[in-house]
């Protein structure tokens, strides 16, 4: 996706280049964030890409490479400094900002995006560095409140929506998407030393972490995963309305994303929750079914 100055609302060449850099990063990680989708309204794409570039880089600081805990936290502190120095008009007070901050700062100003949403994202990324288990469902939801829900609210603000009802629906939708990704990637996350199924659910089902070391999904694990998947499905239901509360191409983008997320849950159940045998990812064969369901949306 090429982003030019007309899309970003400016004829400033450096600014257009900054948006292009953000769009390039979004294309590299398209499977995690539908920035480059042709369904996303054209005028929104550069601004959503700027938000994505900010979040993607911070997520990499928290999760990628061979850095120490201290190095990861220091990079996240620097990233937060860049965010706030830009907004305060003190660019470079911490260090010369990366190119994408030129785009992000412009987007924050043009779309009047709350800095609190970016701060929530950064607090979740910091938590990723030090927290690898969750005791209760409430603890996990609090993490999703800061790691997933701000993205939905930022997209709504970029689209021109500032509505408490849509915000609540978006929060449920975004939390459900993140949880579906957790259950889908349980095997991958375990290899990184992370487990998102709350301890309370493991104990209630009698599931043991040692079974994951053996790459074994036992009946107890199936019971635990069935329980968290059912709650995730309820959240999808609570968030479905956000796709009806917006209009145009964004409505179709949200419908397709919602249907894709719920289909992952269907795959998990179909595969008896054995994520070690087969990761329940969507493929080309799923596209016609999802599109048909979007067209038949009621």
- What's the sign of the alpha-carbon dihedral 86, 250, 166, 135? negative
User: What does the pLDDT look like over 191-205, one tens digit per residue?
Assistant: 999 999 999 999 999
In the predicted model, is pLDDT for residue 5 greater than 50?
no
> Which CATH superfamily does the domain covering 133-298 fall into?
Farnesyl Diphosphate Synthase (1.10.600.10)
Mean pLDDT is lowest, of 38-42, 184-188, 222-226, 241-245, for 38-42
Average pLDDT, the chain: 89
Contact between 199 and 182 under an 8 Å Cβ cutoff? The reply is no
In the predicted model, is pLDDT for residue 1 greater than 80?
no
Which residues, 6+ apart, have CB-to-CB distance to 95 below 8 Å? 78, 81, 82
Band of the pLDDT at 6, cuts 50, 70, 90?
Answer: very low
User: What does the pLDDT look like over 144-187, one tens digit per residue?
Assistant: 999 999 999 999 999 999 999 999 999 999 999 999 999 999 99
Contact between 159 and 41 under an 8 Å Cβ cutoff? The reply is yes
Q: Please, what CATH class does the domain formed by 1-130 belong to? A: mainly alpha
Band of the pLDDT at 13, cuts 50, 70, 90?
Answer: confident
Q: What pLDDT score was predicted for residue 71?
A: 95
Share of the chain above pLDDT 90, in %: 74
CB-based burial of residue 68 (10 Å sphere; 0-12 exposed, 13-18 middle, 19+ buried)?
Answer: exposed
C-alpha angle with apex 55: 193 to 236, nearest 5 degrees?
75
- Mean pLDDT on 51-56: 94
User: What does the pLDDT look like over 18-41, one tens digit per residue?
Assistant: 999 998 888 876 554 443 466 788
Intervals of CATH 1.10.600.10 along the chain: 1-130, 133-298
Q: What pLDDT score was predicted for residue 35?
A: 38
């Amino acid at each position: 996706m090429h982003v030019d100055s007309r899309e970003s609302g400016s004829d400033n060449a450096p600014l257009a280049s900054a948006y292009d850099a953000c769009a390039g990063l979004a294309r590299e990680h398209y499977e995690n964030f539908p920035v480059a989708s042709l369904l996303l309204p054209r005028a929104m794409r550069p601004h959503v890409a700027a938000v994505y570039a900010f979040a993607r880089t911070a997520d990499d600081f928290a999760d990628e490479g061979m850095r120490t805990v201290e190095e990861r936290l220091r990079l996240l502190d620097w990233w937060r400094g860049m965010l706030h120095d830009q907004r305060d008009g003190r660019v470079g007070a911490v260090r010369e900002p990366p190119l994408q901050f030129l785009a992000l700062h412009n987007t924050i100003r043009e779309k009047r995006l709350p800095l609190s949403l970016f701060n929530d994202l950064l607090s979740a990324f910091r938590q990723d560095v030090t927290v690898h288990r969750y005791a209760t469902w409430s603890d996990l939801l609090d993490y999703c409140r800061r790691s997933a829900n701000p993205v939905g609210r930022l997209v709504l603000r970029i689209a021109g929506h500032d509505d408490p009802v849509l915000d609540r629906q978006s929060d449920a939708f975004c939390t459900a998407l993140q949880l579906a990704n957790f259950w889908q990637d349980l095997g991958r996350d375990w290899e990184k030393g992370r487990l998102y199924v709350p301890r309370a659910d493991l104990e209630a089902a009698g599931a043991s972490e040692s079974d994951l070391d053996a790459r074994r999904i036992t009946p107890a694990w199936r019971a635990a995963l069935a329980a968290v998947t059912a709650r995730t499905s309820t959240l999808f239901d609570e968030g479905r309305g956000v796709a009806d509360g917006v209009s145009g191409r964004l409505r179709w983008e949200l419908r397709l994303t919602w249907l894709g997320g719920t289909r992952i849950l269907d795959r998990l159940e179909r595969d008896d929750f054995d994520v070690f045998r087969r990761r329940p990812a969507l493929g080309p064969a799923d596209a016609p079914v999802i599109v048909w369901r979007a067209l038949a949306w009621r």
